[in-house]
């Protein structure tokens, strides 16, 4: 089934000279990528159309679609959101979300509130100011609240929107009329708590997917969910999951409005409490934002444990049901992530991991947890898993594998006899046996495990990586003395990294002496890398039939770190449960709009790393971003941890892949034999 995507891309309009506030309701490319990926995982073939003018051109050329996923906001007119669905109806093309009548009505806040009032849904008293003289006829108790009648994303809403006197009212209405060239909605100010209710479905099938309270931080613009507060929501606003009687009241008011206005498939309703604590309808958004990390609807769903993929599936299923269509049948290439993956042919899969001694450190014991979880998941998927241990006794390891006679091998080997530099041995043996296996090939595994070699290749290819000093030579730009962090050459999982490994003010010879002193403590030696003091990000990649997909970026937040403490994800932060470092470095997938260009750059660099090193199956690329906003590749992990609660699994879940779907996709890449040769 072919699905078209209609949308307004913010970057397109910015390039044409429109301002940030003028384009605030439009979408970033990352949102379109997320929607496109979710649709493809449902089994659809997607076609990115763009805005209404592009749609008009395509229709005139004779293009048609089985369904259109429409989030186009439109640029001009009070009925701008209705333009795309009106065109689609003229050509009898089914589409997702509300019809032209509902979209035109809901964008006009005054007309919406008239219908809401007639429906008996509680909403504060109001009037619409079309010209300055209308202010004299307003008979509502102060304080009042004023905003443009047909704008979204908080446009025109500032602290001055809360009005205490007739003089303030006249001034504010005059300013809004002049700025936005449209009427002004004036209503009684509601002083109570504010909530947004996420909704999916149509009519009687409509239901809430979560309720969030909007809590303004002390540094935010107070009393108003303003344009500034929304633009800087990650700094100024907290979104708190709500349950109990207040949530039930919010849902009841919201569903009454949603159904009464004829909204369809998915969106949001905003409500706020009056002085007596009674919830009142404020606004409806039948074309709600759909960015996985910072749009309110996905955030409300995520707070209830609903993945982005599942939310998107519910929205599309509602539209499919309305139009009498059928969801595509998964064919092994795509499936409905968020639910169980599509059934695949039963396969015997060896789950290979290194021998783990009883006294092994936490980072090595984690491999056993991954092996157990992967084995259990493969069995749930209908495969036949068999555990196998890999050791330096290569002959014995080969005999174990031959006895299993696997169709493929799920390779979880991270070291051999405690030595990370031998990680490439397992895929090398599997190559010798001619067995397909998960993850990256031998060459990629070897090269990325040697951090110095990997950095040399990245620098030669023009990828940004910090200067460094090894015992043999110093490489990269930069002047000594400086600030450096001592790292293991071969070990991953922050083995050998500690806060005391950050050294300052050492010249080249002194730094080399420090490396010699520390090398004896870490197998395979150490090197010194220029320390990038800034933000840290992990980008996980998961290979599909059409190549690698970058999962939503994760930031490691250094929470409440004192000024004198270095912000570094060391061994304690990853493995010592209960330590300050472990409990104060949470993972976050929430980003504001101002971070979107940075995240796009990190995605680009992650894909460049994938291609440069010929990675396969799954991988993770770690970054630091300095105070000037420059991105630096720290490390490439060609076989990151795969426990259900690890960073890779968390990122995959944000991308719409639950743990079962993640393991199946990795296994299927091996069963298809889609190995990617290194191009170094």
pLDDT bucket at 76, cuts 50 / 70 / 90? confident
| CA dihedral (646, 651, 656, 661) positive or negative | negative
pLDDT at site 45: 92
The side-by-side arrangement of strands in the sheet containing 144-148 is: 126-129, 184-188, 144-148, 162-163
Q: Give φ, ψ of 557 to 5 degrees.
A: -95, 125
Q: Is the peptide bond before 173 cis (omega within 30 degrees of 0)?
A: no
Q: Flag whether 155 is in a domain.
A: yes
Of residues 308 and 22, more confidence is placed in: 308
pLDDT at site 554: 93
Tokens 């743990």 -> residue: 659
Q: Which two tokens stand for residue 568?
A: 């570094």
Q: Give me the helices (H) in 324-389, please.
A: 362-380
Residue 385: pLDDT over 70: yes
Quick: pLDDT tens for 426-435: 999 999 998 9
Tokens 């092996």 -> residue: 371
Per-residue DSSP letter, 265: S
Residue 629: pLDDT over 50: yes
d(C-alpha 141, C-alpha 375), whole Å: 66
Quick: pLDDT tens for 552-571: 999 998 888 887 777 787 76
* CATH number of the domain within which 153 lies: 3.30.1490.20
∠ CA(656), CA(658), CA(662), 5° rounding?
95
- Beta carbons of 382 and 344 less than 8 angstroms apart: yes
Overall pTM surpassing 0.75 (yes/no): no
DSSP letter for each residue of 407-431: SEEEE----BTTBGGGTTHHHHHHH
Q: Give φ, ψ of 674 to 5 degrees.
A: -85, 75
Quick: pLDDT tens for 299-347: 999 888 788 888 999 999 999 999 999 888 644 333 333 334 444 457 8
| CA dihedral (468, 474, 479, 480) positive or negative | positive
Of residues 593 and 504, more confidence is placed in: 593
pLDDT at site 358: 63
Tokens 């439109």 -> residue: 74
**Contacts made by residues 604-610, CB under 8 angstroms, sequence distance 24+:** 605/463, 605/464, 605/631, 605/633, 606/539, 606/541, 606/550, 607/541, 607/548, 607/550, 608/461, 608/463, 609/458, 609/463, 609/633, 609/636, 610/541, 610/548
pLDDT at site 187: 95
Quick: pLDDT tens for 242-275: 999 999 999 999 999 999 999 999 999 999 999 9
332 CA to centre of own chain: 25
Structurally, the chain folds into a number of domains equal to 1
- Beta carbons of 343 and 56 less than 8 angstroms apart: no
Tokens 């539209």 -> residue: 319
Residue 58: pLDDT over 60: yes
Helix, strand, coil share of the chain (percent; to 5): 40, 20, 40
Q: Which two tokens stand for residue 141?
A: 């108790």
Residue 519: pLDDT over 80: no
Closest CA to 416 of 357, 498, 495, 493: 357
pLDDT at site 508: 78
Of residues 593 and 144, more confidence is placed in: 144
Range(s) of the domain holding residue 152: 125-188
Q: Flag whether 257 is in a domain.
A: no
Of residues 360 and 118, more confidence is placed in: 118
Q: Is the peptide bond before 675 cis (omega within 30 degrees of 0)?
A: no
């Amino acid at each position: 089934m072919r699905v078209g995507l209609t949308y307004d891309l913010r970057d397109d309009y910015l390039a044409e000279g429109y301002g940030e506030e003028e384009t605030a309701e439009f979408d970033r490319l990352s949102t379109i990528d997320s929607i496109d990926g979710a649709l493809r995982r449902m089994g659809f073939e997607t076609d990115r159309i763009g805005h209404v003018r592009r749609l008009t051109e395509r229709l005139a050329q004779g293009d048609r679609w089985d369904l259109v996923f429409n989030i186009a906001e439109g640029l001009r007119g009070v009925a701008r959101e209705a333009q795309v669905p009106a065109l689609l109806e003229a050509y009898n093309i089914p589409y997702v979300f509300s019809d032209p009548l509902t979209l035109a009505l809901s964008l006009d806040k005054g007309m919406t509130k008239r219908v809401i009032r007639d429906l008996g849904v509680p909403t504060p008293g109001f009037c619409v100011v079309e010209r300055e003289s209308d202010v004299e006829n307003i008979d509502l108790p102060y304080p009042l609240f004023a905003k443009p009648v047909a704008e979204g994303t908080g446009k025109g809403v500032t602290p001055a929107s809360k009005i205490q006197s007739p003089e303030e009212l006249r001034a504010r209405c005059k300013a809004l009329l002049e700025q936005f060239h449209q009427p002004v909605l004036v209503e009684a100010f509601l002083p109570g708590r504010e909530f947004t209710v996420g909704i999916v479905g149509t009519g009687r099938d409509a239901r809430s997917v979560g309720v969030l309270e909007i809590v303004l931080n002390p540094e935010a613009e107070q009393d108003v969910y303003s344009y500034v507060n929304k633009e800087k929501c990650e700094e100024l606003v907290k979104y708190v999951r709500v349950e109990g009687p207040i949530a039930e009241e919010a849902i009841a008011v919201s569903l009454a409005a949603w159904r009464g206005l004829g909204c369809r498939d998915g969106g949001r309703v905003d409500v706020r409490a009056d002085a007596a604590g009674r919830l009142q309808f404020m606004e409806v958004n039948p074309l709600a934002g759909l960015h996985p990390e910072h749009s309110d609807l996905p955030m409300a769903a995520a707070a209830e444990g609903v993945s982005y993929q599942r939310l998107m599936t519910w929205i599309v299923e509602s539209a499919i049901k309305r139009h009498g269509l059928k969801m595509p049948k998964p064919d092994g290439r795509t499936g409905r992530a968020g639910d169980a993956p599509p059934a695949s042919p039963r396969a015997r899969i060896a789950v290979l991991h290194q021998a783990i001694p009883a006294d092994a450190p936490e980072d090595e014991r984690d491999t056993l947890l991954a092996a157990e979880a992967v084995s259990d998941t493969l069995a749930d998927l209908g495969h036949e898993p068999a555990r196998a241990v890999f050791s330096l006794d290569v002959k014995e390891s080969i005999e174990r594998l031959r006895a299993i006679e696997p169709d493929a091998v799920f390779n979880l080997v991270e070291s051999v006899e405690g030595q990370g530099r031998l990680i490439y041995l397992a895929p090398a043996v599997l190559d010798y046996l001619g067995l397909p296996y998960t993850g990256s090939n031998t060459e990629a595994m070897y090269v990325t495990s040697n951090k110095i070699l990997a950095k040399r290749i990245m620098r030669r290819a023009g990828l940004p990586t910090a200067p460094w000093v090894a015992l043999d030579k110093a490489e990269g730009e930069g002047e000594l003395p400086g600030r450096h962090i001592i790292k293991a050459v071969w070990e991953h999982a922050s083995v050998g990294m500690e806060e005391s490994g950050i050294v300052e003010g050492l010249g080249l010879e002194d730094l080399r002496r420090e490396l010699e002193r520390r090398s004896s403590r870490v197998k395979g030696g150490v090197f010194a890398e220029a320390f990038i003091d800034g933000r840290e990000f992990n980008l996980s990649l998961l290979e599909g039939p059409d190549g690698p997909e970058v999962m939503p970026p994760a930031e490691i937040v250094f929470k409440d770190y004192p000024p004198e403490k270095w912000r570094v994800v060391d061994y304690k932060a990853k493995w010592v449960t209960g330590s300050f470092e472990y409990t104060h470095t949470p993972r976050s997938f929430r980003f504001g709009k101002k971070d979107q260009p940075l995240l796009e750059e990190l995605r680009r660099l992650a894909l460049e790393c994938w291609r440069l090193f010929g990675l396969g199956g799954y991988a993770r690329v770690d970054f630091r971003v300095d105070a000037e906003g420059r991105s630096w590749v720290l490390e490439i992990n060609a076989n990151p941890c795969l426990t259900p609660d690890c960073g890779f699994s968390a990122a995959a879940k944000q991308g719409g892949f639950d743990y079962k779907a993640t393991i199946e996709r990795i296994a299927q890449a091996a069963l298809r034999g889609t190995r990617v040769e290194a191009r170094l």
